[in-house]
Structure 1
């Protein structure tokens, strides 16, 4: 549906050059809700704006439904853009126009007759839950209602692609949830491919099926949302994942553990899908000569699949601790040993069969 081939974007100002995008290669499939996440300045907004030529790439190709828009005539570009809706962080509504006319604007500019415009506008307003606000002006609306107007305006031309540039970052958490729920409904009922740019990992977790992580104008990691959350490969990605899935032991807890008069090691135990329901902790404590102290626990859901982790202290001698860890691994559960320096994970544990834990 959308393809980026070696896309580069360079901005020039007062003789200075800034490379906002660096050889981007990315494919977004039909029906995806695809999220691009990154910190400010990563290049994500520039990336999304190349899809509808709000920014022209300096090099490379951006293909939309197999067509490179930069090779089309001005008329062909205008027609192609009708198939690409866009919603913005700050709504971009015309304050002097009613909700009806804000939504109707793309059709009015295209010369549609009054009756068909009215029918289409009220159909879309009903869909986004704003039919009763048709005569209101933007200043009379809440932030969430303004964004629903922006969504309605983007849908009015029956696009097959919807671009969302930080569409929820100006909204409170509850309103954000309602907007994300609406976007999922749009994707399902209208079969619209959605590309979302955000710096909020919670948005990615809630709505997207695939993700790309950007840093310094480059894509540093991409994949299915579940895979990226479960096994982030880059430090930036890990930091984003931690903003949603807490899995660090506070320094004060390490201090308390050091003060205890016993030998122990700390492990992170990760649960996926069906194994989330296993009573693995109680079983391990019964079979092996170890005490298990649960320091932290967290469970969430990614694309309908349970995903969680426990941080536990295993108390006992090395031999029994390793036997207990081997048993947990044998239940198809991933285990990583936690070290105090920055709560990093050590994947290799002495005496464990094969010397390597799953993951």
Structure 2
């Protein structure tokens, strides 16, 4: 659907030369809700604007539906852009025009018949829940309503791609959720591919099926949302994941634990899918001679799949702790030992055997 092939973008103004994009290779499949996340200055806004050529790539190609828009004539480009809707962070509405006229604007510019414009605008306003606001002006609307007008305008020409440039960052959490639910409906009911950029991992978690993480003009990680949340490979991605899924024991708890002179170790048990329903803790308590202190637990849902972690302190004889952890690993559940400095080390059979030999 959308392919970025070695895309680079350089902004060069005299002495100031900024490489906003550096050799981006990325594919957005048809039907995706694809998220691009990064901090300010990562290049994500520039990236999304190359799709409809609001920014022309300095090098490389952006292929949309098998076509390179940069090779089209002006007339061909105008026609192609009708298939690419875009919504913006600050709505970009005309305050002197009514809601109806704002939504109708793309259809008017495309010289549609008046009857067709009337029908289409009312249909879209019904879909976004603003049919009763058709004669209102933007200044009479809330932020969430303004963004719904922006979405309706982007949908007016029946696009097959919808670009969302920080579409929810100016909204409060409750309104953000309603707008994201609307975008999900658009994807499901109109079969529109959505490319959304954001700096909020909660947005990615709520509606995206795939995600790319950007930093300094590069895509540093990409994959399914579940894969990125479960196994982040870079520090930047880990920090984004931690913003919505906490998996660390507070420092105050570590301090308390260090005051006790006992044979204890701390482990993080990670649950995915069906694993989330297993009564691991109660089984360990019944079978092994260890004391279990649950320090932290968290479970959420990613694309309908349960995902979470449990951080526990196990106290007892070294070999008995080893047996308990070996039992968990045997269930194909990932376990990481949490060190005194807060770092985490994945527990494997080999590591358990090594610890047993040296214990």
TM-score band w.r.t. shorter chain:
over 0.9
Q: Is the 8 A contact 1:319 1:351 kept in 2?
A: no
Aligned partner of 1:197 in structure 2 is 197
After superposition, residues 40-79 of structure 1 pair within 5 angstroms as 40-79=40-79
Q: Give 3-state SS (helix, strand or coil) of 1:252's partner.
A: helix
TM-score after normalising by structure 2? 0.97
1:317 deviates by: 2.0
Q: Give 3-state SS (helix, strand or coil) of 1:163's partner.
A: strand
After superposition, residues 258-297 of structure 1 pair within 5 angstroms as 258-297=258-297
Q: Is the 8 A contact 1:211 1:222 kept in 2?
A: yes
Aligned partner of 1:213 in structure 2 is 213
Matches of 1:123 and 1:179, distance apart in 2: 18
Matches of 2:16 and 2:247, distance apart in 1: 42
Supply the RMSD in Å over aligned alpha carbons: 1.1
Aligned partner of 1:9 in structure 2 is 9
Matches of 1:261 and 1:205, distance apart in 2: 41
Which has the larger displacement, 238-247 or 13-22? 13-22
1:354 deviates by: 7.7
Residue 99 of structure 1 pairs with residue 96 of structure 2: no
Residue 347 of structure 1 pairs with residue 329 of structure 2: no
Residue 236 of structure 1 pairs with residue 236 of structure 2: yes
1:15 deviates by: 2.3
Residue 37 of structure 1 pairs with residue 37 of structure 2: yes
Question: Per the alignment, do residues 351 and 162 of structure 1 end up closer, same or farther by CA in structure 2, a change over 3 Å counting?
Answer: closer
Aligned partner of 1:226 in structure 2 is 226
Residue-pair matches, total: 354
Matches of 2:354 and 2:335, distance apart in 1: 14
Aligned partner of 1:254 in structure 2 is 254
Question: Per the alignment, do residues 289 and 351 of structure 1 end up closer, same or farther by CA in structure 2, a change over 3 Å counting?
Answer: farther
Q: Is the 8 A contact 1:322 1:351 kept in 2?
A: no
- List 4+ stretches of structure 1 deviating above 6 A: none
Query: CA-to-partner distance for each residue in 1:123-165, whole Å, 9 max, x for gaps?
Result: 0000000000000000000000000000000000000000000
Question: Per the alignment, do residues 79 and 354 of structure 1 end up closer, same or farther by CA in structure 2, a change over 3 Å counting?
Answer: farther
Runs (5+) with no aligned partner, structure 1: none
Matches of 2:165 and 2:263, distance apart in 1: 51
1:110 deviates by: 1.0
Q: Give 3-state SS (helix, strand or coil) of 1:352's partner.
A: helix
Aligned partner of 1:148 in structure 2 is 148
Aligned partner of 1:113 in structure 2 is 113
Q: Is the 8 A contact 1:10 1:21 kept in 2?
A: yes
Matches of 1:315 and 1:106, distance apart in 2: 67
Q: Give 3-state SS (helix, strand or coil) of 2:313's partner.
A: strand
1:178 deviates by: 0.4
Runs (5+) with no aligned partner, structure 2: none
Q: Is the 8 A contact 2:334 2:346 kept in 1?
A: no
Matches of 1:31 and 1:61, distance apart in 2: 21
Matches of 1:234 and 1:145, distance apart in 2: 37
Query: CA-to-partner distance for each residue in 1:40-90, whole Å, 9 max, x for gaps?
Result: 000000000000000000000000001001001011111000000000000
1:340 deviates by: 2.7
Matches of 1:44 and 1:132, distance apart in 2: 35
1:344 deviates by: 1.5
Matches of 2:10 and 2:213, distance apart in 1: 20
Matches of 1:351 and 1:90, distance apart in 2: 53
